[in-house]
Structure 1
């Protein structure tokens, strides 16, 4: 049911309820009381424990941190990606349904040239597997071409490699679709920087404060006609307040 149909249905129910008699109301006895939302559709808080669940190797965390901080570096506008918790956000996402490819169709039949279609939504590997192979390949490439870990390279050299990955002029090999892997990292760091802090990223709502987004507020009706204005509202997260 789309939003328009849902609103229409609610309006029809309200009108019917207003015109109903007491006898009609009595017929509602036994109406189901368990109306809680399906847990699968509720926000999933960040994993706890103070440890990394997927990016458990130091070299993987250092590589992701270096990549993310080149994609969103610290400047006068805001914190870097790692400072905003994007590495933790990624780890928590990879440890959950996203990392397992729960929303991806990965069953057969498989096409003869499926390896060449890795950039399409039907990936052969899960996001968790893609990061495992992609990060290892990126580290191997940096050591082979520059004699050092990617995280230890100068920022301008890191930018050169990332630009080559984005443009498809660099091939990481080892079965990695290099351009698609770059795009995956870019999408994920953006998500971590602007997601609700309940998911581990956007610490202190730095991303929201930077763009002036008021966050997960219950009601915006008072501000609906103030497009383009700085409302001066402090961002609000889905994290419950004590």
Structure 2
């Protein structure tokens, strides 16, 4: 375990987001981070869109893409499954801004998304078909398979070597991977990146308003930890 996700998520995304190796005052596992601002949606709350079975699958799928290791928490510890669940109840989840009228025909990659399913529909179909494939071939649901087999399944999806009925495997994989990394590195106000732990890992300063004092410092490390978008009182009430 770990090779698939390390090459896929940690190295790629950290390279994009981290400007340099900065000495942050608190590592992700320190006690002080329990008081970090912008913790976002409680990590113990339950899903609103996914069923319990679907949510258990999503937790493990996300964790296989971005697993916990010695550097920090994985997708599940960062609240990514709840982030995805929340996104699927927004206009994005319904494909509100997508052109969703036919004809739907297979086209070249540059033609973009060509399926009649909004993200929430695609997740529901893909998870059902993936679980059925596991039951047919291993007589076990996805969540009971070993991590190695789960990684194999994700690899087959990525290579489009596993069809999920009307949903091409690589289309579901790309959506799942994109949503997972969005949840890992987004501002905690959106429900993922619990306690800003991925920002501490990458050295990302977050939503600080003013960096003028740190321009032209000849490579001096930025000494302050990250800051998230503050949760306004009425938004805090809505989040519960």
- TM-score using structure 2 length: 0.73
> For residue 161 of structure 1, what is the aligned residue in structure 2?
153
TM-aligned CA deviation for residue 228 of structure 1: 6.1
Give CA deviations for 1:209-228 in whole Å, capped at 9, x if unaligned: 11000100111222233586
Answer whether contact 1:63 1:135 (CA < 8 A) is retained: yes
Structure 1 residues 60 and 199, CA, compared in 2 at 3 Å: closer, same or farther? same
**Unmatched segments (≥5 aa) in structure 1:** 1-44
Q: Tell me, yes or no, if the aligned pair for 1:104 and 1:122 is still in contact at 8 Å.
A: no
Residue 116 of structure 1: which of 94, 103, 106 is its match?
A: 106
Does the 8 Å contact 1:104/1:121 carry over to 2?
A: no
Q: What are the ranges of 5 or more consecutive residues in structure 2 without an aligned counterpart?
A: 1-39, 234-240
Preserved contact between residue 72 and residue 201 of structure 2 (Cα < 8 Å): yes
Please say if residues 46 and 92 of structure 1, whose CA atoms lie closer than 8 Å, have aligned partners that are also in contact: no
Residue in 2 that maps onto 1:4: none
- Select 1:205's aligned residue among 159, 172, 196: 196
Q: Structure 1 residues 105, 241: closer, same or farther in 2, change over 3 A?
A: closer
Alignment of 1:15-94 (within 5 A): 50-55=45-50, 57-94=51-88
Runs of 4+ in 1 over 4 A off after TM superposition: 226-229
The answer (yes or no) to whether the contact 2:84–2:183 under 8 Å persists in 1 is: yes
Asked if 1:130 corresponds to 2:122, the answer is yes
Q: 1:51 deviation in Å? A: 3.5
Deviation at 1:240, TM superposition (A): 3.3
Contact 2:106 2:114 in 1 (8 A): no
Counterpart position of 1:215: 206
Greater displacement, 125-134 / 114-123:
114-123
Match of 2:138 in 1: 146
The whole-number CA distance in structure 2 between the counterparts of 1:148 and 1:104 is 36
Higher RCO (CA < 8 A, seq sep 6+): 2
- Find the aligned partners of 2:108 and 2:131 in 1 and give their Cα distance: 21
Q: CA RMSD in A?
A: 2.5
Distance apart, 1:59 and its partner CA: 0.9
Deviation, 1:118, is: 9.8
Task: Please report the TM-score for the alignment, with normalisation by the length of structure 1.
Answer: 0.73
